Amino acid sequence: MRVAVVGAGLSGLAAAHELARSGAVRVTVYEKEDYLGGAKTVAVDGGGKGHVLVDHGFMAFNPVTSPNMMEWFEGLGVEMDTSDMSFSASMRLNNGKAFEWGSRNGMSSVLVQKSNLLSPRFWLVIHEIFKFKNQALMYLEDHERNPDQNETLGQFIKAHGYSQLFQDAYLIPMCACVWSCPSQEVLGFPARFVLSFFRDNQLLELFSHSHWLTVKGGSESFVKKVREELESNGCQIKIGCEVNSVSKFNGGYRILEVDGSEEMYDMIIFGVHAPDALKLLGAEATHEELRILGAFQYIHSNMYLHCDETLMPQNASAWSARNFLGTASSGACVTSWLNILQATLELNNIQGKRGIWFCSPYQGYGYHEDSVKAATEGDLGFASAYINGYISFVDHRNGLVNLVLITLANRGERKRLSSAARKSSSTRKAWWAPLLGISGVAFAKYFLRHVMRKNSVSQARKNISEHYDLSNDFFALYLDPSMTYSSGIFKEEDESLEAAQLRKLDSLINKAKVESGHHVLDIGCGWGTLAIRLVNKTGCKYTGITLSEEQLKYAKKKVKESGLEDHITLLLCDYRQLPTSQNEMIEHVGHEYMDDFFGCCEYHLAEHGILVLQFIALPEELYDKMRMRPEFLKTYIFPGGCLPSIGRVVSAMSNASRLNIQHLENIGDHYYTTLMKWRDNFVANREKASALGFDEKFIRTWEYYFSYCAALFKSRTVLDYQVVFARPNDAKLPSYLAIA
């Protein structure tokens, strides 16, 4: 396969490098300038002090917020050095008075104008800077709970009553220095966009900023490393070669150069600005491409290299890495791009369609990290590749499981080595590498989809229905005859799935200590097997609730066939709508509603009652990372799902109930065997799945689901708990010292 990368800025180079080192494609890079990387190191007259090397595409990045680029540089062997990320403002206010401040030298730069020492207005601004930090952090925390908030920065400022001087002398200059935008237009930026960038880069701190780095030796040294790698991997690089057009031809793409030369390719990656990509596509650009890429607006920015001290703050003590000069009413800087968020969310609608991909920093904040992230794909990309049939394994049964196990082992080893490196060296190589995650545009796309599916009462039914209402016939293709959809407990690995599932049900019944006079509430009753077995064994009363209409229909039929309708009541409702033995549904509750769940259990549980939960859980170290990140299960299988940690469960229990943990058992080792048996059943019934109307992509999605989860349990990356809860000081509580 031949792939052309048009545009050799940072994003284009990252994409080309990722493709070339795979060895699976032949890559050609086109760049109209006579240099790569979108920047050039040039020698300028140093004013009698010889020549000075100046990097006109200066790269400054934060190791905390630029993990993808840092990891890329680490692999290339690019040397890095510390950099300054200080700010200053020198301006004339509407009253004609000059106002200056800086951050490079701490308080001495802030107080560079001594008259400010006695100025109440100045100290009000200082107070508002600290207030801004606290309210920004509170806003972002609230935004995680209420992602539908979409106010602008200007609306945020107005709502919190910030002074005009704070805006003119601090906020607008800071934003203009970061994004080189017209002064007043920053107030039209989305508040979450600006505040999260400030938070992540520690720009909310007045006196201390995060540790920033730059490439040692300038962009030229970095580009040299990348070029060597590309050429060693057979990549053809065409600099000073301007592309005139990209057009469809004979099932591929024809690139026409300005000199009339032509080349054919199977796929195209655009590493150029959105308007430039549309220009190259010309009349062949689709309506969707025109609509989405056309939403990215640009303004030309004029940059000048100068040695004129009059264009710096009047007081040299205020000079900082980035200096804003202007007035309160007119702009001092111009922008390269602005307000991109809505178009960014829709980029997936055109990515990869027609064999064309778009990567450039306009897909993020506009910084170098966004170039690297936009050019590469992570874990969800692999899942998508498998689902679409681009990846297969010689070992059909264990190949995917083994690959996931190797990936998990390598990530764990990388974390261990990084920890050891931190103890033995100050360089901290690769400490930023995520343990489990995805990259770039994929993250934004899938995360947005997930947060829109939080389990409110109305949304929960939609989320449950999307999975459990696929059809009962479908689930019967891989579940055992009991239709039990959670881990069994095996005595032997070759034991039947049905026997293991019945043993698991008996384990739950024994732990709940159910007797004939009891009334059991089952939140998430499934297909009714537990209800029937529980009533047959104990003679108790049983009420089960579900949000799946298909499950309810099936369970009611089974209860009627068993003649137990006088003992068993089944309802279609949410646990929050009730006017609690329970088996694996807390994963569908969600982080935000965990306390509500335990509050409901506390309310409905009898004074000497027992709550039994079986649930899949993450280790504590992964919980906060994974609940905020998209991943395969939330994206493809369980929309709105959130695997809890035992710590989160205990926290919710303590916050909303009087319950304590009386007994805990991890049966996660049995889930690997359960999942592999489900997989074997499903694969054996592929033709039946097709007959039910499920296409090849859907079938491969579920094959991936079983193998992926099996690897997670085999590696103990995820766990499966059975937990018994009861109220303290209950003399009637039975002993749990020995439970079979």
Residue 238 CA: distances (Å) to CA of 59, 145, 225, 271: 24, 49, 17, 14
Pairing of strands 26-31, 2-6: parallel
> What CATH number labels 2-82+213-299+335-376?
3.50.50.60
Residue 459 CA: distances (Å) to CA of 549, 589, 601, 631: 15, 11, 21, 20
Token digits for 186?
């920053």
What stretches of 539-645 show up as alpha helix (H) in DSSP?
549-562, 594-604, 620-627, 632
pLDDT in tens, 650-701: 998 999 899 999 999 999 999 999 999 999 999 999 999 999 988 898 999 9
**Is there a contact between 689 and 651 (Cβ–Cβ < 8 Å)?**
no
What stretches of 388-496 show up as alpha helix (H) in DSSP?
399-424, 440-451, 457-468, 472-475
Q: How far is the C-alpha of 600 from the C-alpha of 309, rounded, in Å?
A: 68
- Phi, psi (5° rounding) for residue 338? -155, 160
Closest CA to 493 of 672, 614, 680: 672
pLDDT at 583: 42
Q: Buried b vs exposed e over 544-555: b needs ≥16 C-beta within 10 Å?
A: bbbbbebbbebb
pLDDT at 53: 65
pLDDT in tens, 506-552: 999 999 999 999 999 888 888 999 999 999 999 999 999 888 888 89
Matching residue, tokens 């009000």: 124
* Lowest pLDDT segment from 111-115, 371-375, 647-651: 371-375
pLDDT in tens, 205-219: 776 555 677 777 777
**Is there a contact between 598 and 657 (Cβ–Cβ < 8 Å)?**
yes
pLDDT in tens, 407-458: 888 765 545 544 554 444 333 322 222 223 333 333 333 333 433 344 444 4
Q: How far is the C-alpha of 386 from the C-alpha of 408, rounded, in Å?
A: 18
- What confidence category does residue 376 fall into, taking pLDDT thresholds of 50, 70 and 90? very low
pLDDT in tens, 225-250: 889 999 999 999 999 999 999 999 98
Task: Report which DSSP code applies to 116.
Answer: G
pLDDT in tens, 256-313: 999 999 999 998 988 888 889 999 999 999 998 888 888 877 666 656 565 666 666 6
* pTM for this entry: 0.48
Instruction: Evaluate if residue 165 carries a pLDDT over 50.
Output: yes
Q: Where are the domains of the chain?
A: 2-82+213-299+335-376, 87-209, 440-726
Is residue 583 within a helix (H) or strand (E), and if so which, with residue range? strand 581-583
Q: How far is the C-alpha of 550 from the C-alpha of 490, rounded, in Å?
A: 28
pLDDT in tens, 601-611: 888 888 888 99
Q: What is the Cα 693 distance to its own chain's centre? A: 32
Q: How far is the C-alpha of 99 from the C-alpha of 172, rounded, in Å?
A: 14
Q: Within 10 A of 344 (CB to CB), how many other CB atoms are there? A: 20
Is 642 an active-site residue?
Answer: no
Matching residue, tokens 């939403």: 295
CATH architecture of 440-726: 3-Layer(aba) Sandwich (3.40)
Task: Report which DSSP code applies to 332.
Answer: S
Q: What average pLDDT does the segment 731-736 reach? A: 71
Q: How far is the C-alpha of 439 from the C-alpha of 380, rounded, in Å?
A: 9
**Is there a contact between 267 and 3 (Cβ–Cβ < 8 Å)?**
yes
- Phi, psi (5° rounding) for residue 610? -125, 135
Instruction: Evaluate if residue 581 carries a pLDDT over 60.
Output: no
Instruction: Evaluate if residue 169 carries a pLDDT over 90.
Output: no
Portion of the chain with pLDDT greater than 90, in percent: 32
Residue 148 CA: distances (Å) to CA of 157, 175, 244, 294, 427: 19, 24, 42, 25, 41
Q: How far is the C-alpha of 308 from the C-alpha of 303, rounded, in Å?
A: 14
Matching residue, tokens 């509430």: 521
